[in-house]
Chain A
């Protein structure tokens, strides 16, 4: 349990909840650090096979806490020392990550949701690339992920117009995995995460690496990397179990190793 987040494991699924509800879960330096800390905890814990990130109260995350921001602060330094390490820790995470977007996600809070592997949104959720509205540019990897999710044109639209995108519109443009009723967000997310937690976790981690690799490698480099990844996957117990189950015509029981 952190000062600004809570952390709990339920049936192989770790829940990391941003917990400053009275401030719409806006980021502080402590929160950036605690997110990193719990990402490491969840990464190391062999019992954890999926991670959910959500927000307490009515917002997912409102981005940087502007109230506590020093007017003379050097923003580039804040990015380098607080947000970049958090984002890189998240991209290094080798298990599936789901953002359970329970309400407004704005600014760097939107970026955090974008960097997760899946986004399950409550119908009350909204997405806002708020940076332009205070004269800034999207940060915390925002445009890197956004362009890949919705394409350049839509990414420009969202980033320049700075308009709030409600959950259903977000679903229509491919920004979220699915939209569920607000009351069912937690159970739906837990069920989805448990499904992922039954899957071959190592292979999921390798798929995440391959997707990233495909962004910056030539086809030849990518294909070589693919061979490495398949070598590693081919050595897992889950691969053996998968083949055995297939031949025995039964459901496989993956252990995540």
Chain B
């Protein structure tokens, strides 16, 4: 059961739903899905639409062609000045991406570098094809990541590893990314999409409010001191007792049957 969105809405991406999965497919393969500013706008807009759509439980991000996303569109920004950049405030779209509450699962192949890597670091679960290259080559252009890459890589790896990769601009492959816990799975490209979709499908069966508040708490746990994060966790734990799914889940457990979750 596939439902295509009105393609007139988007120029650089394709969206469709498959069961409870809302798919966003980067669709500029001819330029290795280089992230133009309007393309990021489209991605975030699509995510926000899926966020509002009750039938969508999980968002899946994928890309057409041999690369997931190879950086930003350099030509688009090479003559920009700081005042202009401050005014257009392009990175605020990335802030909005961070506010998406539904799980975002990504299928990544080929290259995820620069902005493409930042996009990967903005996802919750990442499956990557063998040999996929990750990295931040911004330093080679005399700049640095601007959409959270520096920050998220550091949070994920600690400063030593992050500095090495950010300073050298060198790429590393999926196998290495996996060892460092940056991605969840490395698999042959031939099964990348279906395995990612199968995982997304499994998540989509989980109680939605649990997934949502777990994501909320995990994100907070990265930033807050342990004590504060534990207080936050507690509130979210209590909050879940307001859901029908908690009642159903616990009742089913007691009655030794499978729960039937409603997502509320």
Contact = CB atoms under 8 A, between A and B. Distances in A.
Contacts of B190: 228, 231-232, 235
- Taking residues whose C-beta sits less than 8 angstroms from the other chain, chain B's interface range is under 10
Contacts of B191: 228, 231-232
Interface residues of A, number: 7
Interface in A212-257: 225, 228-229, 231-232, 235
Residue among A228, A231, A235 having the largest count of chain B Cβ atoms under 10 Å = A228
Contacts, number: 15
A225 B194 CA distance: 14
Dominant secondary structure of chain A at its interface with chain B: helix
B188 interface: yes
A231 B190 CA distance: 9
A145 to B, nearest CB: 19
Contacts of A225: 187
Nearest to A202: B190
A102 B1 CA distance: 59
Nearest to B192: A228
B195 interface: yes
Interface in B184-211: 187-188, 190-191, 194-195
A218 B133 CA distance: 23
Interface string B171-189: 0000000000000000110
A122 B188 CA distance: 37
Interface string A198-220: 00000000000100000000000
A209 B187 CA distance: 11
Nearest to A233: B190
Contacts of B188: 209, 228-229, 232
A69 B196 CA distance: 49
Contacts of A235: 190
A256 B257 CA distance: 48
A198 B174 CA distance: 33
A209 B194 CA distance: 20
Interface string B10-52: 0000000000000000000000000000000000000000000
A134 B187 CA distance: 42
Nearest to A229: B188
Interface string B64-105: 000000000000000000000000000000000000000000
A257 to B, nearest CB: 12
B129 to A, nearest CB: 11
A209 B186 CA distance: 13
A253 to B, nearest CB: 23
B88 to A, nearest CB: 42
Contacts of B194: 231
Interface in B92-133: none
Nearest to A92: B131
Contacts of A228: 187-188, 190-191, 195
A225 B188 CA distance: 8
The 7 closest A-B pairs by CB, nearest first: A232-B190, A228-B191, A228-B188, A231-B191, A228-B187, A232-B188, A232-B191
Given A231-B194, A232-B188, A232-B190, 7 more contacts: A209-B188, A225-B187, A228-B188, A228-B190, A229-B188, A231-B190, A232-B191
Interface of A: 209, 225, 228-229, 231-232, 235
Interface of B: 187-188, 190-191, 194-195
15 contacts: A209-B188, A225-B187, A228-B187, A228-B188, A228-B190, A228-B191, A228-B195, A229-B188, A231-B190, A231-B191, A231-B194, A232-B188, A232-B190, A232-B191, A235-B190
